[in-house]
Amino acid sequence: MGTIHIHGGIPLQGAIKIQGSKNAALPIMAATLLVSGKCLLKGCPRIADVFYMQKLLESLGCVTRWEGDAIAIEPVNICMGEMPADAVKGMRSSLTLLGALLGRCGKAALEYPGGCVIGKRPIDMHIKALKQMNVCFGENDSMLYAWSKKLQGGRITLECASVGATENIILAGVLAKGKTEIQGAAKEPEVVALCDFLKACGAQIEGAGTEQICIEGVEKLYGAEYEIPKDRIAAGTYVLACMAAGGEILLKNAPVKEMDALLDITEQMGAFIQKSRQEIYMQAPKRPKAVSKVQTAVYPGFPTDLQSPLLSVLAVADGSSEVKENIFENRFRIVPDLVNMGAKVQQVDARTVHIEGQERLKGAVVTARELRGGAALVIAGLSAQGETGIKDTIYIDRGYVNICRDLRELGARIYSV
C-alpha cells in the first residue's frame, strides 16, 4: 500500500508546475462517452483515479491511448457491459458515468458507489433529478440499474449544490429532448470545465459557474481537443505545505483566480503572497498565525478538500483556531494521527474541531485513510521534528501525480517506498 518517509523541519524553496485537475478530468473523461468521434484531453493528470476511469471506459467499449500527457478517448462500440466492480467501488466519480451512459445509450448498470471514510456519500439527489428527466431506476444487491426510453429535459432544483449531481444532470441533458434547467447548480470550476468541454463538442449550455444552468439538448456531439485546467486543490496543498514547513516557493501555471478563499486565509496566517495570471509566489511567515474561525463551503468558499491540509498548518500555528466542516459529515479522520504527532486538537462535534497551535509537532508513524487526509499528514511531517512515516499512501496516489517528487523539487527530504 506504499509508505512515505519524511525528515521534517526543512523550509521549502523553489518552483513547481501544477498538475491537471483530477476533479475536472474525471467527469470530462466520462463525457467522452457522449461524443461520436475521438477526443484528446491534454494535460490530463496521470493519477490512479484517471487510470481507474480509463479502465472503466475501456470496459464499456472505448479505445484509449496516452499521447504524452494527453489521453485520446474514442467510444467505438459502447456495449452495456457491467463495469469492473473493483474500479467502480474504488472511486466515487464513476457515478458520473451514470449520466453519460444514459445520454449515450439510454441505460446504465453500475455497482452502487460506496460511501467512504469522509461520509456516506448518498446519491439521492442524482436519482431524484434523473427521474425528472424520464429515467427509471432499479436495484438489486449492490447494483444500480437506470434506463430511459428517451431522456427528457426538465426543470430541476437541487436542495444542495452537489457537484456530482450537477455534473450528472448536465451529462444527461446535453443529448436529451428539449431544455433542462438546473436551479441551485454547483458553481465549482470543475463544473465550468465540464461545460466548456461539452460546448467544444457542440453542446448548448448557458450559465456554467452560476446557480442556474440551462442546457438545450442537441442531436449529436463531435470529438474535440481540450486542455484540462490545473488543479486548484493540488496547488492549495503546496501552498499549505509551505505554510507548515516555512520557506518561499513559486507555483507555476496555477489556477490563481480559483484560489481566493485559500490565499485569503494564507495571508491571514501571515504569508506574503504575490499573484500573477498563472503564478503564485509566496513567502511563509516564521510561524503561521492562528485563525479564529474557518469554515468550509461550496465554491467560492473555502474548499472542503483543503480542510485537512489546513488542520496540519493550524496545528503548529501561534494561537488557537476553530475549523467547521460544512460539506461532509466525517472529514476529521486525521485528528488522531495529528494528536499522535503532538498536536492539541479537540473534536467539539461531528463538524467542528478546536486547535491549540504547538511550536512543533514530533515525527511519528501515521496512516493515511483517504486522499486529502493523506496529503495533510505529509504536510504535518514536513513541519515535524525528526522522522515521519506515512503508511497506506496509495490513497494519496489517487489525486497527486507525484507528491514526493514535487516536494523534493522544493527541497523537502521525502521519499516513498
Please check whether residue 8 is in contact with residue 247, taking contact to mean a CB–CB distance below 8 angstroms: no
Choose which of 92, 104, 187, 333 interacts with ligand EPZ (CB under 6 A).
Answer: 92
Segment lying near ligand EPZ (by CB under 6 A), choices 2-10, 103-111, 122-130, 266-274: 122-130
Nearer CB in complex with ligand EPZ: 246/328: 328
Segment lying near ligand EPZ (by CB under 6 A), choices 28-36, 101-109, 118-126, 140-148: 118-126
Choose which of 30, 290, 371, 410 interacts with ligand EPZ (CB under 6 A).
Answer: 371
Residue 151 near ligand EPZ by CB under 6 A = no
Choose which of 328, 332, 395, 400 interacts with ligand EPZ (CB under 6 A).
Answer: 328
What cell was used for 366? 501515521
Nearer CB in complex with ligand EPZ: 186/384: 186
Q: Using CA atoms of 159, 163, 165, 166 in order, give the dihedral in degrees to the nearest 10.
A: 90
Please check whether residue 92 is in contact with residue 121, taking contact to mean a CB–CB distance below 8 angstroms: yes
What cell was used for 416? 516513498
* Nearest CA-CA partner of 173 in 31, 17, 3, 327: 31
Residue 399 to residue 90: CA distance in whole angstroms: 13
**SS3 for 180?**
strand
* Nearest CA-CA partner of 304 in 371, 391, 209: 371
Residue 54, Ramachandran bin (φ over 0: left; ψ between -120 and 50: alpha; else beta): alpha
Choose which of 12, 33, 44, 165 interacts with ligand EPZ (CB under 6 A).
Answer: 165
- # residues near ligand EPZ by CB under 6 A: 26
Residue 163 near ligand EPZ by CB under 6 A = yes
Residue 305 near ligand EPZ by CB under 6 A = yes
Q: Which residue's CB atom is positioned nearest to ligand EPZ?
A: 164
Residue 402: which residues within 8 A CB-CB, separation 6 or more? Answer: none
Helices within 255-370 (DSSP H only): 260-268, 307-314, 335-340
Residue 104 to residue 108: CA distance in whole angstroms: 10
Residue 283 to residue 305: CA distance in whole angstroms: 23
Q: Between residue 186 and residue 215, which ones bind ligand EPZ under the rule CB under 6 A?
A: 188, 190
Enclosing H/E stretch for 200: helix 189-200
Residue 399 near ligand EPZ by CB under 6 A = yes
Write a three-state SS string for 105-154: HCEEEEECCCCECCECCCCHHHHHHHHCCCCEEEEECCEEEEECCCCECC
Nearer CB in complex with ligand EPZ: 164/217: 164
Please check whether residue 19 is in contact with residue 230, taking contact to mean a CB–CB distance below 8 angstroms: yes
Residue 405: which residues within 8 A CB-CB, separation 6 or more? Answer: none
User: 384-413 in b/e burial notation, b at 16+ Cβ within 10 A?
Assistant: beeebbbebbebbbbbbbebbebbebbebe
Q: Are strands 352-356 and 344-349 parallel, antiparallel or unpaired?
A: antiparallel
Given 116, 201, 242, 404, the catalytic residue: 116
Residue 351 near ligand EPZ by CB under 6 A = no
As measured in angstroms, the least distance from the Cβ of 411 to ligand EPZ is: 26
As measured in angstroms, the least distance from the Cβ of 115 to ligand EPZ is: 8
Residue 300 near ligand EPZ by CB under 6 A = no
Residue 63 to residue 104: CA distance in whole angstroms: 16
Choose which of 304, 321, 388, 393 interacts with ligand EPZ (CB under 6 A).
Answer: 304
Choose which of 327, 338, 379, 380 interacts with ligand EPZ (CB under 6 A).
Answer: 327
Residue 164 near ligand EPZ by CB under 6 A = yes
Residue 368 near ligand EPZ by CB under 6 A = no
Total residues belonging to the chain: 417
Residue 26 near ligand EPZ by CB under 6 A = yes
Is residue 404 part of the annotated active site? The answer reads: no
Choose which of 73, 88, 125, 228 interacts with ligand EPZ (CB under 6 A).
Answer: 125
Choose which of 38, 126, 187, 287 interacts with ligand EPZ (CB under 6 A).
Answer: 126
Choose which of 71, 83, 123, 290 interacts with ligand EPZ (CB under 6 A).
Answer: 123
As measured in angstroms, the least distance from the Cβ of 119 to ligand EPZ is: 5
Choose which of 23, 134, 308, 388 interacts with ligand EPZ (CB under 6 A).
Answer: 23
Residue 119 near ligand EPZ by CB under 6 A = yes
- The catalytic site residues sit at 116
- Binding residues for ligand EPZ, rule: CB under 6 A, are 22-23, 26, 92-93, 119, 121-126, 160, 162-165, 188, 190, 304-305, 327-328, 371-372, 399
